Amino acid sequence: MDKLALLVRLDAKKGKETEVEKFICDSVADIQNESATSTWHALKLAPSTYIIFDTFPDDEGRQAHLSGKVAKTIEEKSSELFSRPPTIEKLDVLAVKLPEVLQY
């Protein structure tokens, strides 16, 4: 079970929602290359507010994600796309419900 997580809130500037959504969706390919990022969820909380929730087995994996390509791009595009700097919260995972894996 993953023990650590991140909760990232992104607030798009007015009129930039489509660009933010495209950026988020395009990020999936880069996240696929992060072996220590176990799960990654991008959610729309409100018309211009987005949440990214991801989980990691350990702090090394979480730190690798925080210094990865997507994190760097968020930092670079922050003033262009977001109405305020993204908030990043480090979380501890207490319990998880995962789908059953069928065994053949």
**Domain extents for the chain?**
4-92
The amino acid at 9: R
* pLDDT tens-digit map of 36-94: 999 999 999 999 999 999 999 999 999 999 999 999 999 999 999 999 999 999 999 99
Q: Are 4 and 56 in contact (CB under 8 A)?
A: yes
Provide the CATH number for the domain formed by 4-92 in this structure: 3.30.70.100
- Residue 102 pLDDT > 80: no
- Could you tell me the CA-to-CA distances from 4 to 7, 10, 12, 30, 90 in Å, in that order? 10, 20, 26, 20, 8
**Looking at the chain, how many residues does it have?**
104
Number of neighbours of residue 4 by Cβ within 10 angstroms: 20
Task: Tell me the average pLDDT across 25-33.
Answer: 95
- Residue 2 pLDDT > 90: yes
27-54 as b/e: b if 16+ CB within 10 A: beebbeebebbbebebeeeeebebebeb
